[in-house]
Amino acid sequence: MENKQNTPNFLMVRPASFGVGDSATQISILKEFDVVVDVLRKHGLNVLVVDDTQSSPKTKAIFASHWISTHANGQVILYPLLDKERRLERRKEILSQLEKEFVVKQYHHLEQYEANNRFLEGTGSIVFDRTNNVAYGCTSPQTDATLLAKLCEEIEYQPASFRATDMDEQAIYHTDMMMMVADAFAVVCMEAVQDGADELLLKQFLRTTNKQIINISREQMYAFAGNMLEVSTEDGSKFTLMSDTAKNSLSERQLEQILSFNPIFTCSIPNIEKFLGGGIRSMLVELFLKRR
């Protein structure tokens, strides 16, 4: 089975009890979420929306991609989360809704590693190159390199682990904040990869898989410029999805590079970015499963 890098199908979780900001901020967050869903659907994408529950505040439930990923062979992987409160996000109701519309052949459970303080937070921690079976991960408390290697062995991927740091020289906790991989290009914050051997490894993986590297700075990374996603419609048309914040941080040259591959579509999510601490890519669970 040929693995495709992108999909027209997505799962999103609409927040309900996220416990941040005042009521006006919460209303703004919900409006931003609904606009994202509307924009995606208007551009020909299919979005399965599942509501979060009011019980037990789940501040980051909107970022469901951190605990689940789906794969073209019918497999669904469930991941271990560092934050104990976030583990409430893994709800059976969401999986049941997924099974009603898509064929799930097998669940691959990694949640048990939480008991050993080993974590791997979905496609926040792992940036999959699905076409070439490579899994990129920058090591951090949320991204355990040994666990990534174990998962890769089980799903027949090559692990590409490296170290990356922010402006304070702290480990970048999620890989999808500093890089994305598309069919023909990759956006990467090489400035964050301080170790020469790690930088060489990362570039070798990207070049041998024929990705044009579009480099961004740490400052642009903080503006969610690494947190973008290439998506495709049912007819195979592709575009690059990013937030207004991310697009506004990019130079004319960087935008030209991305536009040479795909059109760009943006969503305005400033309150989600500011108060919930994540970007547009983190909101989207890519669904590579077969529809019922």
Q: Distance between CA atoms of 281 and 123, rounded to whole angstroms?
A: 9
Q: Distance between CA atoms of 164 and 175, rounded to whole angstroms?
A: 9
Q: Distance between CA atoms of 36 and 14, rounded to whole angstroms?
A: 11
Q: Distance between CA atoms of 292 and 87, rounded to whole angstroms?
A: 28
Q: Distance between CA atoms of 231 and 238, rounded to whole angstroms?
A: 6
pLDDT on residue 185 = 98
Segment holding 106, helix H or strand E = strand 106-109
Q: Distance between CA atoms of 208 and 211, rounded to whole angstroms?
A: 8
DSSP sequence for 13-71: EE-S----S-HHHHHHHHHHHHHHHHHHHHTT-EEEEEEPPSSS--TTTT-GGGTEEE-
The CATH code of domain 9-286 reads 3.75.10.10
- Cβ atoms of 280 and 227 within 8 Å: the answer is yes
Kindly report, residue by residue over 102-139, the tens digit of the pLDDT.
999 999 999 999 999 999 999 999 999 999 999 999 99
Q: How many CB atoms lie within 10 A of CB 238?
A: 16
Q: Distance between CA atoms of 93 and 114, rounded to whole angstroms?
A: 21
Beta bridge partners of 291: 102
pLDDT on residue 17 = 79
Tokens of 202: 């990362």
Kindly report, residue by residue over 51-101, the tens digit of the pLDDT.
999 887 888 999 999 999 999 999 999 999 999 999 999 999 999 999 999
User: Which residue, 104, 140, 106, 103, is CA-closest to 121?
Assistant: 140
Contacts of 39 (CB under 8 A, 6+ apart): 265, 267
Kindly report, residue by residue over 151-178, the tens digit of the pLDDT.
999 999 999 999 999 999 999 999 999 9
User: 21-35, 98-112, 206-220: which range is least confident on average?
Assistant: 21-35
- Phi, psi (rounded to 5 degrees) for 122: 55, -145
